[in-house]
Amino acid sequence: MNIRRKSKGIVSLLMLAVFLPVFLLFLALTSDVGKVYYSRERYQNILDEAVMLGLRYLPNSSVIENRVRNFINTKDSELANLVNTELLDSGILNLTAKVTPNSLLGNFFGLQNVFTFWVQSKAQVVPRDVAVFLDTSDILAPLTLENGTDAWGGVDWPIARYLNNKLISEDEKKLATQRCFNPVLSAFKEASIRVVDYFSSFPQNNVGVLVAPGYKSNVYEISVLKNLDNSPVTNTANFGFYRDEPMSDELCLAIIDDERNVSGYKVPKPIDEFGIGSEYTWVGKITREVEGVPKIKRNKVHELNVRDVIWSRSVRKQDDKSFPLDLVLKETSNMLFSGTYRQGQGDVNNLLNSLGIIFMSDYPWHETQTNVRINLIKRRIRRALRNIDLEAQNYNKNLQIYFIGTKHIGSYGSSCINNLDWGVLNPCENFIRDSLSFRDFLSDLESELENTKLIHFRAPDTATIGQELLAILPLIGQRYAKIN
């Protein structure tokens, strides 16, 4: 009996000696596998959040790595030290990290890198076709000067130096200057330049610029381009050569040539992290005179980029106060839906979406007009937007159209400009009524559309339109998509 009991005890000890290490190894393996699985999932989620956050700091790529690392550090300091950040030219942000979690098996056997794994998260800015339209009808400049008035600019907008040697009256010089640059026209041009700068800073975007009125009151295409930088870009813009005595684009260009130190005449500064950045350098003397009339040097046309052409644009005569919105919508959609602008994009075509930004010099109708006239304008706009929506469905695109409207002296008179009281009885009640009527019209019409979203953006006045747009551009400007 004692021998048998001793035999059983020895067998039990032998089994314990054999299976206990195995059991402990199994427990350690299970623990390590569970830790790896948990760590991988957790780190993957952190990188997924970080990569989407990092893209939002474009186009200021220099801050992306620090912002991403700081964000990850708030989640896991160890992972923050391991992550590698790579920003590709195509707008793709790639985050990778090689992780070696602490391992029970590794500690037991004195091994390293037992369960090393990689985590990666990749995302890109969704490519966009962007069309920017700017209405430069003569509602954006004074038509005449009466009784020696200072026109719209007052003493803050002096007569252009270029006109000082011209044999015309002081009032004519003042009027000619403000047909190129004045607080209203310059604010519209600067705001459109900032929008173009912002969207062009994303290399995968295609940005087109339209202006009107053009030749015979048509819409004129300045450019469809990629990559707008601070230096002249060859063959990126079409100069209009508009001439309407006594005004011309070449006169505005000549004023820019001479007015290097007048902030109201210089080309605006480009955007840097959604604000004003480094000084923009003008390309140099571009105009010459032929019998006292400014003419652009033909061999200099190629030196002008989109920013230059927008800034040197003069106002145009137009039968109506502003350019018809239905024609604007037609030309904007033609640009956005043209297939030639999106060649070579390959697999990202399914991510494309289109954006139209329309700077309206005035609302398409005023409540002071007759109902017959207002209804006619509404029918034309409704027809144009329905056709655009059908095109968007055919091209499988999602389209957003932003209508930028504001008040200014040309549309609502001088009594409306400096009054910021938005009460019912203030002098700007016509502006408030018109803007609300237009907003409600778009809201009702959008419910009929499938692939088109309509947004009315109302800036309080032209003095703030550029700043207001800068505040919302990061919100509307880009969309982001994870890449598997």
- Taking the model in full, what pTM does it have? 0.79
Listed in order, the ranges of the chain carrying CATH 3.40.50.410 are 128-483
| Mean pLDDT of all residues in 13-40 | 65
> What does pLDDT average to over the chain?
77
pLDDT of residue 334: 86
3-state secondary structure of 101: coil
pLDDT of residue 387: 94
Contact 333, 391 (CB under 8 A): yes
DSSP code at position 348: G
Render 216-248 in DSSP notation, one character per residue: GG--EEEEEES---SS--TT-------EETTEE
* pLDDT > 70 in the chain, percent: 72
Contact 401, 133 (CB under 8 A): no
User: What's the pLDDT tens digit per position in 71-117?
Assistant: 989 888 888 888 888 887 667 888 998 887 766 655 555 556 667 88
Cis peptide bond N-terminal to 59, omega within 30? yes
User: Hey, what are 309's tokens?
Assistant: 């052409």
pLDDT of residue 425: 45
User: Hey, what are 17's tokens?
Assistant: 């000696």
* pLDDT > 90 in the chain, percent: 14
Contact 476, 416 (CB under 8 A): no
pLDDT of residue 228: 40
> Of 167-171, 172-176, 379-383, which gets the smallest average pLDDT?
167-171
More confident residue, 368 or 357: 357
pLDDT of residue 17: 63
Which of the given ranges, 126-130, 258-262, 347-351, has the highest pLDDT on average?
A: 126-130
Task: Check pLDDT > 60 for residue 275.
Answer: no
> Of 203-212, 216-225, 300-309, which gets the smallest average pLDDT?
216-225
Instruction: State the Cα–Cα distance between residues 99 and 79, nearest whole angstrom.
Output: 8
User: How many other C-beta atoms can be found within 10 angstroms of the C-beta atom of residue 218?
Assistant: 12
User: How many other C-beta atoms can be found within 10 angstroms of the C-beta atom of residue 386?
Assistant: 14
Compute the Cα dihedral for 306, 265, 176, 132 and give only its sign. Answer: positive
pLDDT of residue 65: 86
Contact 295, 94 (CB under 8 A): no
pLDDT of residue 107: 58
Contact 164, 174 (CB under 8 A): no
3-state secondary structure of 342: helix
Q: At what angle do helices 371-394 and 429-446 cross, to 10 degrees?
A: 40
pLDDT of residue 63: 81
Fold of the CATH domain 128-483: Rossmann fold (3.40.50)
pLDDT of residue 25: 64
> Of 19-23, 281-285, 469-473, which gets the smallest average pLDDT?
19-23
pLDDT of residue 424: 43
More confident residue, 359 or 143: 359
Nearest CA to 417 among 385, 374, 459?
Answer: 459
Contact 387, 331 (CB under 8 A): no
